[in-house]
C-alpha cells in the first residue's frame, strides 16, 4: 500500500487539485436506482437483451454495459448490438459518453430527478440529437426510452426504441 501512496503523491502531489474531502457525497449518488444487472422483459419474439450499471472509481463513475440480441427472421439476419456508456461528473454537471459496436459516439448531459435520469445530447446542425431516459416504475421495473430529433427540429424528439427491464 505504501508504494501506491507514494505513486499517488508523486503523480498528484500532496496538495493536489484532484484531492476531494472524504466527507463529500459522491456526485453520482442520485443514480443509485440504476445500479444492478438488468434483463429485458416483454420483448418481441426472437429478441432479448440485458444491461448492467456498476459504479467504479470510488463511485465517481457509473459504467453501463448493454447487449441486445436479435435472432434471424425472414426479413433480417441475426444480429447483436453492444454498447458502453460512462457517466461522470464534470464540475457541477453530470455527463455521459456512449460508444457502440457500430461506431457511434454520443456525448450526453444528464438531468436527474427522483427515480429518473434523462441524458440529452447537444443540438448539432449536421446530425440528429438524442435523448435517453431511464425511469424507475412500479414493481421495480426500469423503463427505458431512446428518442431522436432531427437537426432542423432539435426539440421535437420522436421515439426510436423503448424497453422494460427487471433486476436479475
Query: Mind listing the pLDDT tens digit for each residue in 61-112?
Result: 999 999 999 999 999 999 999 999 999 999 999 999 999 999 999 999 999 9
Give pLDDT, residue 6: 44
pLDDT tens track for 128-164:
999 999 999 999 999 999 999 999 999 999 999 999 9
Q: Residue 57 above 50 pLDDT?
A: yes
Sign of CA dihedral 23, 28, 29, 30: positive
The class that CATH gives domain 26-167 is: mainly beta
Q: Which pTM was predicted?
A: 0.85
Q: Which long-range contacts (CB under 8 A, 24 or more apart) does 143-151 make?
A: 151/123, 151/124, 151/125, 151/126, 151/127
**What is the C-alpha to C-alpha distance for residues 147 and 157, in angstroms, rounded to an integer?**
6
**No. of helices (H) and no. of strands (E), the chain:** 1, 10
Q: Residue 8 above 50 pLDDT?
A: no
Q: Which residues pair with 62 in a beta bridge?
A: 55, 87
Residue with cell 496538495: 15
Torsion of CA 87, 88, 91, 93, to 10 degrees: 20
Amino acid at each position: 500500500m505504501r508504494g501506491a501512496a507514494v505513486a499517488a503523491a508523486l503523480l498528484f502531489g500532496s496538495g493536489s487539485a484532484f484531492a476531494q474531502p472524504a466527507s463529500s457525497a459522491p456526485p453520482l449518488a442520485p443514480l443509485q436506482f440504476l445500479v444492478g444487472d438488468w434483463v429485458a422483459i416483454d420483448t418481441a419474439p426472437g429478441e432479448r437483451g440485458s444491461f448492467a450499471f456498476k459504479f467504479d472509481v470510488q463511485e465517481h463513475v457509473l459504467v453501463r454495459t448493454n447487449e441486445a440480441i436479435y435472432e434471424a427472421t425472414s426479413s433480417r439476419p441475426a444480429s447483436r448490438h453492444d454498447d458502453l456508456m460512462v457517466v461522470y461528473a464534470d464540475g457541477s454537471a453530470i455527463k455521459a459518453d456512449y460508444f457502440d459496436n457500430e461506431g457511434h459516439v454520443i456525448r450526453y448531459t444528464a438531468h436527474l430527478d427522483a427515480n429518473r435520469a434523462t441524458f440529452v445530447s447537444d443540438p448539432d446542425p449536421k446530425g440528429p440529437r438524442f435523448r435517453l431516459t431511464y425511469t424507475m416504475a412500479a414493481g421495480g421495473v426500469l423503463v427505458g426510452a431512446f428518442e431522436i430529433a432531427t437537426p432542423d427540429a432539435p426539440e421535437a424528439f420522436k421515439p426510436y426504441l423503448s424497453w422494460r427491464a427487471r433486476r436479475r
